[in-house]
């Protein structure tokens, strides 16, 4: 099969997913833990107990907070919505205000900084891999030659597409076109 731009992009995406999906899921889980840490920090133990006892719908819910870490506004997302007080505007207005600001001396800031550095490292590693994969794939014109030179890539190649059957039987085409 001849390699074209789309096939190369699909192969590269499959390779990157194979290499980095586990790490991305781990970082999402760490972000969710950070979200809950922030939630616990902005709600006292008494407030959390009150929210837990309240009936469904008594409090607004949130699945992300905009937080300021040392002058950097960041949106932190959780895996599920949590109850929260409606102290901060929701809908269109809340996204432009920070829920809380943390300084570099705060423990939450230190957790965020560690997570943030991991996300930067992952993004850089993924981009470097993408560039190398793209340049390698660009040097091949066919999957046959690619597999000869790089046999480990075979599971990431698209399945061969056969010539396929014509949509209209050949006899009908011949009759329409007045061919023998």
Q: What is the average pLDDT score of the chain? A: 85
Considering the chain, what percentage of its residues have pLDDT values greater than 70? 88
Question: In whole angstroms, what is the distance from residue 180 CA to residue 177 CA?
Answer: 9
* Residue ranges covered by each domain of the chain: 5-156
Kindly report the pTM of this predicted structure.
Answer: 0.75
Residue 15 contacts residue 137 (beta carbons within 8 Å)? no
In eight-state DSSP terms, residue 55 is P
pLDDT of 107 above 90: yes
Q: Mean of the pLDDT values across residues 129-136?
A: 95
Tens digit of each residue's pLDDT (9 = 90 or more) over 40-53: 898 889 888 888 88
Residue 35 contacts residue 64 (beta carbons within 8 Å)? yes
pLDDT of 9 above 60: yes
Quickly state the pLDDT bin for 166 (edges 50, 70, 90): low
104-111 contacts, C-beta under 8 A, 24 or more apart? 104/70, 108/34, 108/37, 108/38, 108/41, 109/69, 109/70, 111/34, 111/37
């Amino acid at each position: 099969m001849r390699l074209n731009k789309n096939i190369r992009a699909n192969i590269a995406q499959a390779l990157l997913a194979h290499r980095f999906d586990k790490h991305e899921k781990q970082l999402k889980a760490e972000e969710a833990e950070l979200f809950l840490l922030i939630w616990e920090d902005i709600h006292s133990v008494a407030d959390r107990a009150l929210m837990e006892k309240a009936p469904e719908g008594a409090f607004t819910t949130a699945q992300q907070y905009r937080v300021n870490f040392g002058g950097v506004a960041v949106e932190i997302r959780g895996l599920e919505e949590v109850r929260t007080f409606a102290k901060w505007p929701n809908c269109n207005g809340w996204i432009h205000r920070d829920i809380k600001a943390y300084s570099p001396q705060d423990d939450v800031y230190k957790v965020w900084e560690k997570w943030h550095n991991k996300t930067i490292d992952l993004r850089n590693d993924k981009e470097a891999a993408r560039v190398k994969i793209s340049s390698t794939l660009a040097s091949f014109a066919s999957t046959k030659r690619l597999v000869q030179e790089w046999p480990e890539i075979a599971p990431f190649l698209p399945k061969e597409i056969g010539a396929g059957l014509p949509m209209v039987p050949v006899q009908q085409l011949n009759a329409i076109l007045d061919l023998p």
